[in-house]
Structure 1
Amino acid sequence: MSYKILILEDNTLLLQTLEDFLSGNGYECTLVKSGKEALKQCYEHKFDLYLLDVKVPDMNGFDFLKELRAAGDRTPAIFVTSLNDQESLAKGFILGGDDYIKKPFDLEEVLLRIKALLARAKGIVDDWLSIDEAYKLNLARKRLFCNKEELDINLKDFELLYLLVKERGNVVTKEMIHERLWSSSEEINEGSIRVYINNLKKIFGKEVIVNIRGIGYRFEK
């Protein structure tokens, strides 16, 4: 299974160059040109590493990572930027960046740093939470597996499932779900919770996730 990398870069030529090079080395790349577009992708999909330019439209790379870290996302992140002053370097690490590459750079250096960071992350890649004999959650990579086969669920589905499984047998209130699934700057959508619950019921069955009317849900598998 190839690693999935989100690349945030507003220079079209550089973005395409990085994709061509990294795809050729076995990585699956998702390309975005603005911070808000990157944020949308991260809330809908799961990635193993972020490769982030800082100076991008809508929301710069620093603010983008700050938003994700506040939401509990610990995906490894590398900043790739022309900024080279010590204050900017320090800010990147304080906000949760794991590495820094200064432009201009050598593509082989990017590859080596990606490999090194993913290798360090392997220490938590096998952090599993079993649901039953068939289903398991990979907590580090935020993936759901059934008998070693990865199932396609989005990040919100995963976070909700993790919360339900962790509190198995107990009622998970709507307030607990809001706190787990949405950051302080995100707009909470009550209808979305029902969508995520229905997505999980399609996998585990309607009887497994019990609706406690007006309060929340209980996972009974």
Structure 2
Amino acid sequence: MKVLIIEDSIPLRRSLKIGLTNLGFAVDDTGDGSEGLSMALAGDYSLLVLDLMLPATDGISILKAIRKADKDIRVLILSAKNLTEEKIEGLLNGADDYLTKPFSFDELHIRLLCLMRRGNLNITDSKIIIDSFSLDLYSKQLYCDEKDVNLTPNEYKLIECLFTRQGKVTSPEKISEYLVGQYDAVSKNSIEVYIFTIRKKIKTLGFETPIKNKRGFGYIIENK
């Protein structure tokens, strides 16, 4: 799952990025409101962790611009502002959830998982289910008919990228961005190697991978 953090506190931003990356999220971050808005509008993010008091452009203005652009991104406000009217303002302007500082990282993680369950994905609890496959977003584990598939972190992220975009063709460039963020890159050959290895691991369990190659466009997962 791809996350954007817009938070001007460098220590907090670094801590959030490390924590979420260790949990398997693909994370981009910035401490500048204007840059954050540009990233949110241009990027393919599923989740946004948003501070309200930011330099250049404040959090509420970012929220309004995102919703006006009809971006399909779920927003968790993370703010020291804790008055009821401040929370109401954030939620009325398009936030999906509101968490006040100081906070528990475990609670933030669970709230993000809950936001991921909203929308059109076939998600129950923390799982995405497609045919005989179940992807547990909490434990970062893929199952084939309840059999574990032993994936590396990058193989898991690739599967998560495609499962959360079920029915949509995903280009190698988008997969690369999901794996390592927009400031680094994974080669197309490396992506093909990951997919080959995933297919091989799934085949040893007696299943065929749901990943389909749309030549010249990218990859897609479709329900049968």
Q: Which residue does 1:150 correspond to in 2? A: 171
The structure-2 alpha-carbon separation of the partners of 1:69 and 1:142, relative to structure 1 and needing over 3 Å to count, comes to: farther
Aligned residue type for 2:35: E
Gaps of 5+ in 1: 127-137, 154-202, 205-221
Letter of the 1:150 partner, please give it: S
Q: Is the 8 A contact 1:46 1:142 kept in 2?
A: no
- Mapping of residues 99-110 of structure 1, within 5 Å: 99-110=97-108
Counterpart in the other structure of 2:133 = none
Q: Secondary structure at the match of 2:119?
A: helix
1:15 to 13, 16, 19: 13
Shift of 1:123: 3.6
1:93 corresponds to 2:91: yes
Tell me the distance in 1 between the aligned counterparts of 2:166 and 2:98: 24
> Secondary structure of 1:41's partner?
helix
What corresponds to 1:38 in structure 2?
36
Q: TM-score, normalised by structure 2?
A: 0.56
| Residues 101-180 of structure 1: pairs in structure 2 closer than 5 A | 101-123=99-121, 145=169, 149-152=170-173
Q: Cα distance 1:57–1:119, how it changes in 2: closer, same or farther (>3 A)?
A: same
Q: 1:79 to 1:72 in 2, by over 3 A?
A: same
**Structure 2 unmatched runs, 5+:** 129-161, 175-215, 218-224
Query: How big is each residue's C-alpha offset from its partner over 1:70-121, in whole Å with a ceiling of 9 and x where there is no partner?
Result: 1111311000000011111111111110001010001000000001110123
CA separation in 1, counterparts of 2:47 and 2:108?
12
Q: 1:60 aligns with which of 52, 58, 61?
A: 58
Amino acid in the other structure paired with 1:102: T
Q: Which has the larger radius of gyration?
A: 1
Q: Give the 4+ runs in structure 1 shifted more than 4 A.
A: 140-144
Q: Which amino acid aligns with 1:75?
A: I
CA contact (8 A) 2:41 2:71 kept: no
1:84 and 1:122, CA in 2 relative to 1: closer, same or farther beyond 3 A?
Answer: same
Equivalent residue letter for 2:14: Q
Q: Whole-Å Cα distance in 2 between the matches of residues 54 and 142 of structure 1?
A: 32
Q: Calculate percent identity across the aligned residue pairs.
A: 27
Choose which of 54, 74, 77 in structure 1 pairs with 2:75: 77
- 1:50 and 1:39, CA in 2 relative to 1: closer, same or farther beyond 3 A? same
Work out the CA distance in 1 between the residues paired with 2:42 and 2:72. Answer: 16
Mapped partners of 2:167, 2:60: distance in 1: 26
Match of 2:221 in 1: none
Corresponding letter in the other structure for 2:38 = K
- Structure 1: how far apart are the matches of 2:20 and 2:31? 17
SS in 1 for 2:40: helix
Structure 2 CA distance for aligned equivalents of residues 60 and 143 of structure 1: 35
Q: Identify the residue that residue 142 of structure 2 maps to in structure 1.
A: none
Structure 2 distance, partners of 1:79, 1:66, is 13
Q: Cα 1:71–1:150, aligned 2, differ >3 Å: closer, same or farther?
A: same
SS of the residue aligned with 2:76? strand
* Alpha-carbon distance between aligned partners in 2 of 1:39 and 1:143, rounded to the nearest angstrom: 28
What is the CA RMSD across the aligned residues, in angstroms? 2.5
Quote the offset at 1:151 in angstroms. 4.2
Distance 1:77 1:124, change over 3 A: farther
